[in-house]
Amino acid sequence: MPVRTARDAVTVAGLYLRWLGYGDIRGAVKRAPSGVRVSARGVLALIEPSVQPTSLRDVECVWLSAMSDAVTCVCFSLAGYEEPARARADTLSIPLFVIDLTGTPQPVNGAADELVAAG
């Protein structure tokens, strides 16, 4: 599914989570200042559909929310990640994906590769 809008990015991330085995996707919730959160049994996902790279703050906030709910967190971004965000995600083993404009999520780090392999 080509990504033309923020809604398309959220749909792609939801479909990909289903493909990974998280079948009970719950509604997308906008949050300030940017991004959308999607949840399913056992996972909380942040989708950043803007043209700005996902920040360290965004990665840390979704990780903290996931920890408080005792679930795994995953991040999807259209514009990639700031270097500090990537470094922290690697430290915390948070899977990071970039969604290209064809609608294909690509793993960005080892945690994402492991999640795909475990599928």
Element (H, E) at 66: helix 56-69
* The predicted structure's pLDDT at residue 1: 80
Question: Which tokens hold the place of 107?
Answer: 């793993």
C-alpha distance from residue 81 to each of 53, 55, 64 (Å): 5, 6, 18
* The predicted structure's pLDDT at residue 60: 95
* The predicted structure's pLDDT at residue 97: 98
pLDDT over 70 for what percent of the chain? 93
Could you tell me which residues come within 8 angstroms of residue 74 by beta carbon, excluding any fewer than 6 positions away?
Answer: 17, 43, 44, 45, 46, 94, 95, 97, 112, 115
* The predicted structure's pLDDT at residue 26: 80
Q: Point out the residues of the chain with pLDDT beneath 70.
A: 28-33
Fold of 6-118: Trna Endonuclease; Chain: A, domain 1 (3.40.1350)
Its pTM stands at 0.92
For the chain, give every domain's residue range: 6-118
* The predicted structure's pLDDT at residue 30: 63
CB 54 within 8 A of CB 75: yes
* The predicted structure's pLDDT at residue 29: 67
